[in-house]
């Protein structure tokens, strides 16, 4: 057997990586000077930090990067440098905001949470009761039941509507798509008012968990429909044509070929729909009443959820009540993270198979 000797990689194989010292100096100055000047101006005039960041640092950074690009790459590099700075600034700003929210929830929530907080209810517990007693177990169970019932209704209906919009040529596709897009901008308070006006104010039913689920369905449906429709559109048309060319009926071609190909995307659509409603509070305040006891019947009786639990104790005005709200927020965040992680793990396993 003959062996082939590998040729050494030329030093000039990647000329874009070769940067002169003058270029590196200009990049460093364009990165450091706006920070120093923004800090100096902010302290000199007593400008608050967020205003300094947006109205002083960002314009200086855009100006410095534009001058550096003009001196190194000419006019063509100015627009590119401005876009890079704007995108990097927006990404960093959003990451910092999200990180601050997560840090606040985790830090304050961990300080107030305890092992019994996840399974005890709030019978005989007030806003001034010590944190050694009571918990949000009943609210956690209520959230699972209310959101689960809403998902049980919205997921099959939403996916069925998405299938109708993508796999058929019905004449009602335009109106259905229009109403689905219109519902995506429906305020949550309006959904709760609609259910309240139809069922509670007319005397058909008293506030209950299933009414809250009905209001959440109105909010979850548009997200599931639109996301599922886009996912089904991404399935290559060759798969449909190949399945139909083999003589398979359209129904079997969808369930045996198209559905498995879009399964991961459909799971993502369901998760986004659940994320849309799991933290809603306004519809729940109008369609159900807070109950400090544990109730597993969504069709009868009062029931608490984590959002209503947080709202009730946060508006009480006591330190222990605020601590319970932070702990419940941390618990809600942990539940959402667990749901997303489990669904992603299941999707990854199915893809590997």
Give the separation between CA 106 and CA 96, rounded to whole angstroms.
15
List, for residues 7-40, the tens digit of each pLDDT value.
676 666 665 566 667 777 877 888 888 889 988 9
3-state secondary structure the chain: CCCCCCCCCCCCCCHHHCCCHHHHHHHHHHHHHHHHHHHHHHHHHCCCHHHHHHHHHHHHHHHHHHHHHHHHHCCHHHHHHHHHHHHHHHHHHHHHHHHHHHHHHHHHHHHHCCHHHHCCCCCCCCCCCCCCCCCCHHHHHHHHHHHHHHHHHHHHHHHHHHHHHHHCCCCCHHHHHHHHHHHCCCCHHHHHHHHHHHHHCCCCCCCCHHHHHHHHHHHHHHHHHHHHHHHHHCCCHHHHHHHHHCCCCHHHHHHHHHHHHCHHHHHHHHHHHHHHHCCCCHHHHHHCCCCCCCCCCCCCCCCCCHHHHHHHHHCCCCHHHHHHHHHHHHHHHHHHHHHHHHHHHHHHHHHHC
pTM for this structure? 0.78
pLDDT at 221: 93
Give the separation between CA 222 and CA 103, rounded to whole angstroms.
31
List, for residues 76-101, the tens digit of each pLDDT value.
778 888 888 889 988 988 898 889 88
pLDDT at 346: 66
pLDDT at 347: 65
pLDDT at 5: 65
CATH topology of domain 137-352: MetI-like fold (1.10.3720)
* Assigned token pair, 294: 């544990």
Q: Which residues of the chain have pLDDT under 70?
A: 1-7, 9-20, 346-353
Give start-end residues of each CATH 1.10.3720.10 domain in the chain: 137-352
């Amino acid at each position: 057997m003959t062996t082939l000797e590998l040729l050494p990689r030329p030093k000039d194989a990647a000329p874009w990586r070769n940067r002169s010292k003058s270029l590196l100096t200009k990049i460093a100055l364009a990165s450091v000077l706006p920070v120093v000047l923004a800090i100096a101006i902010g302290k000199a005039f007593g400008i608050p930090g967020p205003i300094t960041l947006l109205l002083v640092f960002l314009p200086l950074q855009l100006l410095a990067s534009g001058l550096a690009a003009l001196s190194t790459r000419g006019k063509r590099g100015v627009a590119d440098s401005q876009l890079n700075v704007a995108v990097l600034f927006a990404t960093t700003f959003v990451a910092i905001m999200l990180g601050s929210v997560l840090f606040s929830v985790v830090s304050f929530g961990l300080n107030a949470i305890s092992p019994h907080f996840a399974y005890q209810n709030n019978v005989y517990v007030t806003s001034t009761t010590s944190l050694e007693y009571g918990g949000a177990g009943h609210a956690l169970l209520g959230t699972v039941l209310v959101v689960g019932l809403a998902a049980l209704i919205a997921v099959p209906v939403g996916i069925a509507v998405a299938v109708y919009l993508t796999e058929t040529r019905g004449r009602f596709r335009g109106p259905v798509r229009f109403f689905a897009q219109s519902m995506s901008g429906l305020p949550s308070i309006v959904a709760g008012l609609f259910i309240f006006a139809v069922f509670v104010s007319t005397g058909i039913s008293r506030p209950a968990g299933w009414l809250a689920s009905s209001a959440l369905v109105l909010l979850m449906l548009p997200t599931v429909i639109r996301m599922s429709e886009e996912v089904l559109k991404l399935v290559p048309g060759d798969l449909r044509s190949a399945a139909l060319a083999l003589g398979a009926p359209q129904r079997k071609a969808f369930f045996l070929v198209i559905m498995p190909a879009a399964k991961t995307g459909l799971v993502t659509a369901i998760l986004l729909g659940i994320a849309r409603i799991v933290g809603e509070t306004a519809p729940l305040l109008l369609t159900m009443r807070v109950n400090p006891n544990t109730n597993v019947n969504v069709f009868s009786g009062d029931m608490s959820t984590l959002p209503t639990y947080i709202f009730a104790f946060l508006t009480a005005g006591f330190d222990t009540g605020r601590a319970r709200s932070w702990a419940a927020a941390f618990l809600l965040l942990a539940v959402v993270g667990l749901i997303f992680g489990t669904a992603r793990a299941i999707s990854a396993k199915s893809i590997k198979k």
